Structure 1
Amino acid sequence: MKRAKANRPRPHPVLWSQLTWPEIGRLRAGGMDAVLLPCGATEQHGPHLGTGMDTVLAADVCAAVSAATSVPALPALPYGCSLGHSHRWPGTLSLQPQTLIALVTDIGGWLWRAGFKKLFIINSHVTNAAPLRCALENLRYHHDGFMVALVNTATASPRTQKTFFADARDWHANQAETALMLARAPEITRPDLIKKSDDPDRTVGAVFAHPVNHTSTNGVTGHPSRASLAQGERLFRWLVADVAGIVRKGLREKSPLVPTHDANGPNG
Structure 2
Amino acid sequence: MEKKVFHPEMNYSDFKENHFDKVILAVGSAENHGFHLPFGTDTLVAQALAMEVAKRVEGVLVLPPVPYGVSFHYQDFPFTLTLRPETLIEVLKDVLTSTIEQGINRIIIINGHDGNIAPLEVASRTIKVKYPDAVIAVLDAWWVKAGELLPKDTFEVWGGLGHAGEGESSIMLFLYPQFCRMENARGVVPELPEGPDIKWKFNELTPYGATGDPTKATAEKGQKMFEVLVDYVVSFIREMDREGWKYGLKKKI
> TM-score range, shorter-chain basis?
0.7 to 0.9
Q: Measured at CA, do residues 164 and 73 of structure 1 come closer, stay the same or move farther in structure 2, by a change above 3 Å?
A: farther
Partner of 1:74: 63
1:14 counterpart = 2:5? yes
1:171 counterpart = 2:170? no
Instruction: Measure, in 2, the Cα distance between the counterparts of 1:40 and 1:165.
Output: 26
Identity among equivalent pairs (%): 28
Q: Measured at CA, do residues 118 and 124 of structure 1 come closer, stay the same or move farther in structure 2, by a change above 3 Å?
A: same
Deviation of 1:96 (Å): 0.9
1:127 counterpart = 2:119? no
CA contact (8 A) 2:143 2:161 kept: no
Partner of 2:237: 247
Instruction: Measure, in 2, the Cα distance between the counterparts of 1:160 and 1:19.
Output: 35
Instruction: Measure, in 1, the Cα distance between the counterparts of 2:119 and 2:137.
Output: 13
Partner of 1:118: 106
Q: Measured at CA, do residues 48 and 99 of structure 1 come closer, stay the same or move farther in structure 2, by a change above 3 Å?
A: same
SS at 1:72's partner residue? strand
Partner of 2:215: 225
1:201 counterpart = 2:193? no
1:1-268 matches, within 5 Å, as 12=3, 14-27=5-18, 30=19, 32-70=20-58, 71-85=60-74, 87-152=75-140, 153-156=142-145, 158-159=148-149, 167=158, 171-194=162-185, 197-205=186-194, 207=196, 208-252=198-242, 253-257=245-249
Large movers: runs of 4+ above 4 Å: 160-166
After superposition, what is the alpha-carbon deviation per residue over 1:180-232, rounded to whole angstroms, capped at 9, x for unaligned?
A: 111111122112112xx021222242642211111111111100011111111
TM score, norm. by length of structure 1: 0.83
Q: CA RMSD in A?
A: 2.3
TM score, norm. by length of structure 2: 0.87
After superposition, what is the alpha-carbon deviation per residue over 1:222-245, rounded to whole angstroms, capped at 9, x for unaligned?
A: 000111111111211111111212
Amino acid at match of 1:133: E
CA contact (8 A) 2:143 2:168 kept: no
CA contact (8 A) 1:13 1:63 kept: no
CA contact (8 A) 2:89 2:120 kept: yes
After superposition, what is the alpha-carbon deviation per residue over 1:67-103, rounded to whole angstroms, capped at 9, x for unaligned?
A: 0113111111110111211x32111111111111100
Q: Measured at CA, do residues 216 and 161 of structure 1 come closer, stay the same or move farther in structure 2, by a change above 3 Å?
A: farther
Deviation of 1:59 (Å): 0.7
Instruction: Measure, in 2, the Cα distance between the counterparts of 1:212 and 1:16.
Output: 35
CA contact (8 A) 2:144 2:161 kept: no
Amino acid at match of 1:83: F
CA contact (8 A) 1:66 1:73 kept: yes
**Worse-superposed segment, 224-233 or 60-69:** 224-233
Where does the alignment leave 5 or more consecutive residues of structure 1 unmatched? 1-8, 259-268
CA contact (8 A) 2:72 2:82 kept: yes
SS at 1:37's partner residue? strand
CA contact (8 A) 1:202 1:216 kept: no
Instruction: Measure, in 2, the Cα distance between the counterparts of 1:235 and 1:12.
Output: 25
Instruction: Measure, in 2, the Cα distance between the counterparts of 1:212 and 1:161.
Output: 29
CA contact (8 A) 1:156 1:243 kept: no
When the two structures are aligned, how many residues end up with a matched partner? 243
Instruction: Measure, in 1, the Cα distance between the counterparts of 2:150 and 2:93.
Output: 28
